[in-house]
Chains A and B, each alone.
Chain A
Amino acid sequence: MKRWIIFLGRGGTVLITIGLALLLVSLIPSAQLATSAGTTAVPPKWVQSFIETILTPQQGLRITIAANGTLDVYILEVSSQVLYQWVGDDFLNVTDLEEFLEANPGLIGWYYEVRNGRIKHEYVPTKVTNATLVFSNPSSEYVPVDYEASKTSRIAPGTKVRNLAQWAIPIGFVLSLPWLTQMWKRKTIRKSP
């Protein structure tokens, strides 16, 4: 058997097993660590910060938010203490937040504008970071909000790992096909009388 066929074949089988391990990792479900839920009404042109936690790439923040009005939802990679210290006040309005975010655009972990509806999202950072859930009401009316946030724990970022597995397994199979075919042919020849 030609050496390059063996080399590619073994490389392919290694890729398949790596892909299978990644697939297995992606199938391990995440665990819910702590949940916080509540109802609030965000005053007009006002900003409120809620859940504050420390996240790692193995921990995520799963949020469900329902708002009757227009609401900007942020997950900021900073503690609320830092946010209020930067503003220099105990209260935050929309302009303060906009100024803070303009000065620190890298701290926006996730952003979504809710318009009379419900959203579900799971945020997982790529580094160890603080995470603060912030509601900003840009409208001139009170916005009632129902929220639920759970801290989750996982082994690895599921989607990313599954995508890698979905690439690795077929590529590995293609690479190993000539080697596996030749191995099978050899076995058949040996068995035949």
Chain B
Amino acid sequence: MGKGKPFLEIFASALHEDYRFPILEIFAFLYTLGTFVFASFGTFIAPQTVSNESVAYTLTSSLLGLPLFIFIILIFKNVAYGLGSDLEKGIIQTYFSYPLKRRGILTAKLLSAIGIALILFLSIQISALYVLAPDIVSPYLDTVLLTYAANLSYPLLVAGIMLLVTLALRRGGLTIVVGIVLYFAMGIISGIAMFVASATNSPLALQIISVISPNVVLARYYSIQMPFVNELWTPAFSEVLLYIGTSYAIAAFLFFLGYYYFSRRLGL
């Protein structure tokens, strides 16, 4: 048996567990509905004073409220409950008997838990955005993708933490709670950072937050093109890319730790 076949076997099994009928259908329904219901172009005094790039950013950001939370619930459920219950029930031990390296097993599980959820989320949202405003989305697809990249890095970082906690505890229930608390904590911390930055008249707090949640820096970047906004920090585009890159590097490092633990340290 080649390496591809056992990988596909585990991937198919993970898909079956993560997306039992009608979980996938319910999430697809909610993503589609949420995209249209929450889409907002902002308020305009005159369209020529706001660049189309900013409009693309505002539109994409408006969608990332509840639909993003729904997406996060799905990946948290898949990572914590899916992997956690496999560890609890000893299904992972069965997978270890397959002629596949441990990292291959984890890749198959994560591809199902996060990869498929991400593909579903992005494909539905970007297609719906295209239906809604083709003349904004087509020419500014890079802005749309950058906004998604900035907003998805923190959920992925939390997913990385959840992976580590799930592997350490070998159960998922508590991990879901940890993940949701961490996700909401960022909202509170961002609010505090905003207040501290304005009170101290220094962007340091915002810059620190942007390292793990780069949507803050992206929001600052696009707000400079809006009139009548008092700016504390006006980052350059290269800075935005740097913060997004750093946040993904941190998330990747957490997943690397997860892989390392799963491959070398996890004893069952």
With CB as the reference atom, state the residue of chain A lying closest to B33.
A21
Known A-B contacts A17-B25, A18-B29; A156 and B36 likewise in contact (beta carbons under 8 Å)? yes
The answer, yes or no, to whether B226 is at the interface (CB within 8 Å) is no
Known A-B contacts A18-B28, A54-B46; A10 and B36 likewise in contact (beta carbons under 8 Å)? no
Q: Mark A37-57, 1 if CB is under 8 A from B, else 0.
A: 000000000000000001011
Structural contact, B41 and A128, CB atoms closer than 8 A: yes
- Chain B contact residue count (CB 8 A cutoff): 32
Structural contact, A57 and B55, CB atoms closer than 8 A: no
Q: Mark B124-137, 1 if CB is under 8 A from A, else 0.
A: 10000001111110
Choose, from B16-24, B149-157, B187-195, the stretch at the interface: B16-24
Q: By DSSP majority rule, is chain B's interface helix, strand, loop, or mixed?
A: helix
Contact pick for A127, options B33, B37, B136, CB 8 Å? B136
Known A-B contacts A10-B19, A10-B21; A128 and B44 likewise in contact (beta carbons under 8 Å)? yes
In the complex the two chains form, what is the Cα distance from A164 to B131 in whole Å? 9
Contacts between chains A and B (CB distance < 8 A), count: 84
Q: Which residues of A contact B12 (CB under 8 A)?
A: 3
Within A131-179, the residues touching B (CB, 8 Å) are 155-157, 160-161, 164
Structural contact, A128 and B46, CB atoms closer than 8 A: no
- Chain A contact residue count (CB 8 A cutoff): 29
Known A-B contacts A18-B28, A22-B32; A130 and B19 likewise in contact (beta carbons under 8 Å)? no
Q: Which residues of A contact B132 (CB under 8 A)?
A: 57-58, 156-157
In the complex the two chains form, what is the Cα distance from A27 to B250 in whole Å? 44
Structural contact, A57 and B133, CB atoms closer than 8 A: yes
Q: Mark A16-27, 1 if CB is under 8 A from B, else 0.
A: 111011101100
Structural contact, A130 and B36, CB atoms closer than 8 A: no
Within B1-54, the residues touching A (CB, 8 Å) are 12, 19, 21-22, 24-26, 28-30, 32-33, 36-37, 39-41, 44, 46-48, 50, 52
The answer, yes or no, to whether A79 is at the interface (CB within 8 Å) is yes
Q: Mark B96-114, 1 if CB is under 8 A from A, else 0.
A: 0000000000000000000
